[in-house]
Structure 1
Amino acid sequence: MDTQELLNHYQTGKRDFSGIYLSDTDLSGANLTRANLSGANLSNTDLSSANLSRANLTCANLSGANLWDTDLSAANLSGADLSDTDLSGSNLRSANLCDADLSDTDLSGADLFVSYLSGARLCGANLSGANLCRADFSDTDLSGADLSKLIRS
C-alpha cells in the first residue's frame, strides 16, 4: 500500500493499518486521528504537521522520522522506536510513551503535559524548552539529555 492508498482507505472509514510498511514516505499534514498503526514501519517518514491524536502506534518504527509540529495527543506510542526523530514543537499531551526509545530525539519545545514516559529511553534527547508538567518519568533513562529551559508549571 502506498501513501495515497492509505489516505484513501482512511477517508472511507478504515482505521486499521497495523503492520503497514511506509518507510521513507511523505505523510506531512495527513489526518490519521485514531488510526491503528501498531507495529508499522514509518522510519524516515515525513509526518510533520500531521494529526495522529489518539492513534495507536505501539511498537511502531518511527526512527529518523520527521514529526515536527505533529499532534500526537493521547496517542499510544508504548514500545515505539522514536530514536533520532524530530518531535520539536509536537503536541504529546497525555501520550503513552512507556518503554519507548527516544534516544537522540529532538523534543525541544514539545508539549509533554501529563504524558507517560515510564521506562522510556531519552539518552541524548533534546528536551530544551519542553513542557514536562505532570509528566511521569519513573524509571526513565535521561542520561545525556538536554533539560535546559524546561516548562514545569
Structure 2
Amino acid sequence: MSDLERYYRILELEPGATLEEVNQAYKDLVFVWHPDRIPKDNLRLQQKAQDKLKAINEAREKLRSLKTKHQTISNSPSPSSSPSPSYQQQTPSQKTQPPPKQNSDLSGKDYSRANLSNKDLSGRNLSYANLSGANLSDTFMHKVNLRGANLSEANLFRANLLLADLREANLRGANLIGADLSGTDLRGADLTGARIRSGERLLVKLIGANLAGAIMPDGEIYQ
C-alpha cells in the first residue's frame, strides 16, 4: 500500500476524495478520538487516542498539501493564455493576504482582518501577531503559539485551539462560540466581551485550560 492510499484509509475515505471531504472526515474523526472523550484512568485508551490523533493529523496535513499543490498547478495559466499586463494588476479591494507558510516564524506579523478560515496553523509561531478581526472559523490551531497576540474581534467559531499558548493574548470581543480551548494556556489573557455563551449555556470547551489571572468576558479576573 502506498503512503497516499494509507492516508486516505486513515481518514476512512476512498482515494480521490475532495479537499472538502478530507476536511470533514478529519473533523469527524477528531471528535471521535479526542482524548477528552476517553476516561482519564484508562491509560490504554488514552494512548490509543493520542496515536490515532497523530495519524489523523498527519494524513490530513499530507492530503491537504497534495491537493493544494495540485490546485495551484491546475489553476496556473499557460503562457499562451496569460492575460495582458493591464489585466494582471489587482485593485486594492481585491488584494488578499497570503496564508501563513508552513514552518515559518510568523511572530509579530500583521494578519488583521485576513481570511484564514479552515487553514491549518498547527504548531505555528504567531506570538504577538496582529489577528484582530481575522476570520479563523474552523481553523485548526493545535499547539499554536499565540502568546501576546491580538485576536480582538476575531471570529474563532469552531476553531480548534487544543493545547494552544494564549498567554497575555487579547481576545476582547472575539467570537469563541464552538471553539475547543481544551488544555489551552490562557494565563493573563483578556477575554473581556468575548462571546462564549448562549444564554446560560457555555459553548466553549475549556477542559484542562489554565485561566489563572485571565480577565473573563464579564470583566472578572479568574482566580
TM-score w.r.t. length of structure 1? 0.74
Q: Structure 2: 5+ residue runs without aligned partners?
A: 1-67, 69-94, 198-202
How many Å separate the matches in 2 of 1:27 and 1:66? 14
Q: Structure 1: 5+ residue runs without aligned partners?
A: 4-17, 141-151
| 1:139 CA drift (Å) | 2.5
| 1:78 CA drift (Å) | 0.1
Aligned to 1:40: 114
Q: Is residue 96 from structure 1 mapped to residue 191 from structure 2 by the alignment? A: no
| 1:19 CA drift (Å) | 5.2
Q: Is residue 136 from structure 1 mapped to residue 215 from structure 2 by the alignment? A: yes
| 1:29 CA drift (Å) | 3.7
Residues 54-81 of structure 1 show CA distances to partners (whole Å, capped at 9, x for unaligned) of 0000000000000110000000000000
The answer (yes or no) to whether the contact 1:27–1:45 under 8 Å persists in 2 is no
How many Å separate the matches in 2 of 1:29 and 1:139? 37
Report which of the two has the higher share of helix: 2
Bigger Rg, which one = 2
State the identity as a percent: 43
Aligned to 2:144: 70
| 1:20 CA drift (Å) | 1.7
Distance 1:21 1:63, change over 3 A: farther
Secondary structure of the structure 2 residue equivalent to 1:104: coil
Distance 1:76 1:129, change over 3 A: same
Report the count of equivalent residues: 124
Q: Is residue 20 from structure 1 mapped to residue 94 from structure 2 by the alignment? A: no
How many Å separate the matches in 2 of 1:120 and 1:40? 19
Distance 1:27 1:65, change over 3 A: farther
How many Å separate the matches in 1 of 2:215 and 2:156? 18
| 1:21 CA drift (Å) | 5.5
Aligned to 1:120: 194
How many Å separate the matches in 2 of 1:100 and 1:19? 22
Determine which structure has greater relative contact order: mean sequence separation of CA pairs < 8 Å that are 6+ residues apart, divided by chain length: 1
Superposed CA RMSD in Å reads 2.3
Residues 81-128 of structure 1 show CA distances to partners (whole Å, capped at 9, x for unaligned) of 011010010000000000000101000000000000000012311001
Distance 1:76 1:19, change over 3 A: farther
Residues 3-22 of structure 1 show CA distances to partners (whole Å, capped at 9, x for unaligned) of 9xxxxxxxxxxxxxx95264
**Equivalent residue letter for 2:167:** R
| 1:30 CA drift (Å) | 3.2
Stretches (4+) displaced over 6 A = none
Aligned to 2:125: 51
Aligned to 2:56: none
The answer (yes or no) to whether the contact 2:118–2:138 under 8 Å persists in 1 is yes
